[in-house]
Structure 1
């Protein structure tokens, strides 16, 4: 039986679409691994490993540029409404993942400055926050690959737990700084690192919301709880 030309076009489009999804998931896994490595160098106080993480961020940036080009090629194929959402979602998610890589590199950079001071027990709290955020990122990438809005919504809802951990660590570090002025410099680095992790959680939430948009279009999202109370401390 002869295959119609349109069948070839549809098959080729579907193959390119799946390759794009796979590339985005691979990019996300690179960022998640970067973040895990950054958290590890905080614990091990390893400047050389931190420098490698910072250098590796370029690979994520390069992949983001390649994905953007692939998305535009896909858009030139004359997609319909759902396909246009695929294109827009892919661009948004790739941008979110690229920012995750940036934040992981920032954590690694801060770790080298942190290593100039004696070890602090609060790195354990930072690590707990980081583990949760990495799990959020990997879960939302699985949801994207599976086109699973229910899994994406679970990630989105769990952002409240990230906020709670971040707020607790934020207040703990402020208290420690007030009690011991010598701890101001290292605690400031930890505050910035914690904020980077909290922002990664926000990007995982962005990805979850884009999965919803991909499937449901402009339909309203369910309400989401927020627990970031750092703005209530009076510290900007």
Structure 2
């Protein structure tokens, strides 16, 4: 009985650590896009430096999961909870990498005046942050419906991304510097589209964890 209580407490702590990691990753997305919108190199560098914290969190969560598997020998349903936690942590780390990629774009543009104020890219960022929060809530609440609803939000992110690509293609001229900036902005939108995909990956993991069945939300 004591072992089971300890196991449950360890799972609760694992979920808390995932939420802490998710909150930090969400902050990096916000900072990276804010830095790009304002051409704030200082904030961009701060975002890149903070990525080390995410890597440390990933390592700690991986160690916790492996320790639970080794010491508790969990049953199939509990093993799915732990294995999905490992997958979520990996997706969170990759989302943080995309935030860093966006911050690096800000630095590469080196304070250039933007061709036009950013509107759709911040919209994409806000949607992906909502998706990130929903995916983690779906995990902790074992909420299959919340997880499945991520697909609809991801479709919206994809639509905005397509709109950004179309707009940037129309803004291209024979001006090399202008086209270079526009290409970098298109990359930023692509990184956010991939963030949405990682969130749906988490949702798929939640559905499998609860039902034992695979469901593709990226269709």
Query: TM-score under structure 2 normalisation?
Result: 0.94
The answer for the alignment partner of 1:26 in structure 2 is 20
Aligned partner (choices 175, 188, 192) of residue 193 of structure 1:
188
Deviations 1:39-66 (A, max 9, x none): 1111221111111110000000110011
Aligned-partner Cα distance in 2 for 1:116–1:86:
45
Pairwise CA distance, 1:99 = 0.4
Q: Work out the CA distance in 2 between the residues paired with 1:114 and 1:145.
A: 40
Matched, 1:204 2:208: no
CA distance in structure 2 between the aligned counterparts of 1:11 and 1:156, rounded to whole angstroms? 35
Report the equivalent of 2:73.
Answer: 78
**1:156–1:204 Cα contact (<8 Å) kept:** no
Q: Can you give the 5+ residue segments of structure 1 that lack an aligned partner in the other structure?
A: 1-6, 227-236
Equivalent of residue 17 in structure 1, options 11, 22, 27: 11
State the partner residue of 2:166. Answer: 171
The verdict on how the C-alpha distance between 1:186 and 1:203 changes in structure 2, with shifts beyond 3 A counting, is same
**Root-mean-square deviation over aligned CA pairs:** 1.5
Q: Count how many residue pairs are aligned between Structure 1 and Structure 2.
A: 218
Question: 1:205 & 1:155 partners in 2: Cα distance?
Answer: 6
Q: 2: CA distance between counterparts of 1:94 and 1:220?
A: 19
Q: Distance in 1 between matches of 2:49 and 2:81?
A: 31
Deviations 1:1-37 (A, max 9, x none): xxxxxx1000000000110011011101110111011
Q: Classify the secondary structure of the residue corresponding to 2:74.
A: coil
> Which ranges of structure 2 fall in alignment gaps of 5 or more residues?
none
SS of residue in 2 equivalent to 1:173: helix
Structure 1 pair 132/183, CA: closer, same or farther in 2 (3 Å)? same
Larger Rg belongs to: 1
Alpha carbons 1:107, 1:196 under 8 Å: kept: yes
Residues 27 and 97 in structure 1, CA contact (< 8 A), matched pair in contact too: yes
Please report the TM-score for the alignment, with normalisation by the length of structure 1.
0.88
Comparing 208-217 with 149-158, greater Cα deviation is found at 149-158
